[in-house]
Amino acid sequence: MSDVDTVSWVDLFATPAVRGGGEKTYASIRDKKARQLQHALGRLSGDGVQLVHLPNRSKPVGKYEGFLLLHERGAPFGGGDNEDRYTVPTPTSEDRLLRLPEGLFLNGWIHLLEDSELAFLLMLAMLHARSGDQQNVFVKSDVRLLHFGLGKDAYEAHRMLSRFGLVHVEEDPNRHFEGGRVSGFNEGHRPQLHRFRLVREGFEQTAITTVRAAIERRLR
C-alpha cells in the first residue's frame, strides 16, 4: 500500500467500516479497506478467475504489491493460464467497445445499485454496442439467460432503473396480463418484447439524492 497522504486504491472504496478494536488492538478504517482490497485481489487472482496477477505472491510480506491486471477473458476454458495483460481499448479496436457512463462511477451509482441492476446495465450497454448504439434495444429470453446469465428477477431490475431515470423502457401498449399470462392478442399476433434505452444523462445525477427521492415517492 502507499503512504497515507497519497491517493491509492483503498481511497476508492466505499465502505460502512468504522474504527474498531479493544485495549490491545486497533483497526483504522484505512486498515479495514486495505484488508478488503487484499481479499478482492486474492479472489481475482485465483486459478478459476485469473483477472489479476500477483508477482509477489510467494513473498512473506507485500505479496499484493505491484499487482497486474490481466486480459478480461479471465481463466481459459478447459484450463491453462491467462498470460495476457489487460490493455485499455481504443476507438480503433476491432472489437466493439462496451461504453458505460462516467457518472456510474463519479456520482456514486456504482455503490448504491444492486448487483442485479448493475448486471442489467452491463447487458444493456453490450446490446447498444452490438447494435451500433441503436437507440432502443431488446433481448430475447434465451439470449438473456444463456449469454448474459440474467434470470427473470434480474431482468425485472429495469423497473427500479427506470424510476431512477437511468433506463427508458418502452412496453408494448397492447400487453394485458391475466394470472401471469399475456392475453388479449388476436391469433397470429405475438406480444412485442420490451425495448430499452440506456439514459446516459441520468447518471449525471447524484446517486444518493436520486435514489432517496425515488424510494420516498414509492413509499408515498
For the chain, domain boundaries: 9-69, 103-219
Burial of 207 (0-12, 13-18, 19+ CB in 10 A): buried
Which fold does the domain 103-219 belong to in CATH?
Answer: Arc Repressor Mutant, subunit A (1.10.10)
Task: Give the predicted TM-score (pTM) of the model.
Answer: 0.68
Give the residue with greater pLDDT, 35 vs 9. 35
In this predicted model, what pLDDT tens digit does every residue of 198-217 receive, in sequence order? 899 999 999 999 999 998 98
What the block records as the C-alpha cell of 43 is: 479472489
The beta strand positions in the chain, using DSSP E, are 52-53, 68-69, 167-170, 176-178, 181-183, 195-198
Helix (H, G, I), strand (E, B) or coil at 92: coil
pLDDT of residue 70: 94
pLDDT(115) > 90: yes
pLDDT(173) > 70: no
For 144-167, what is the mean pLDDT? Answer: 89
Amino acid identity, position 82:
N
CA separation for the pair 29, 88 (Å, rounded)? 31
pLDDT of residue 166: 95
| Percent of all residues in the chain with a pLDDT value above 70, rounded to a whole number | 81
In this predicted model, what pLDDT tens digit does every residue of 76-112 receive, in sequence order? 988 889 989 998 877 665 556 778 899 999 999 999 9
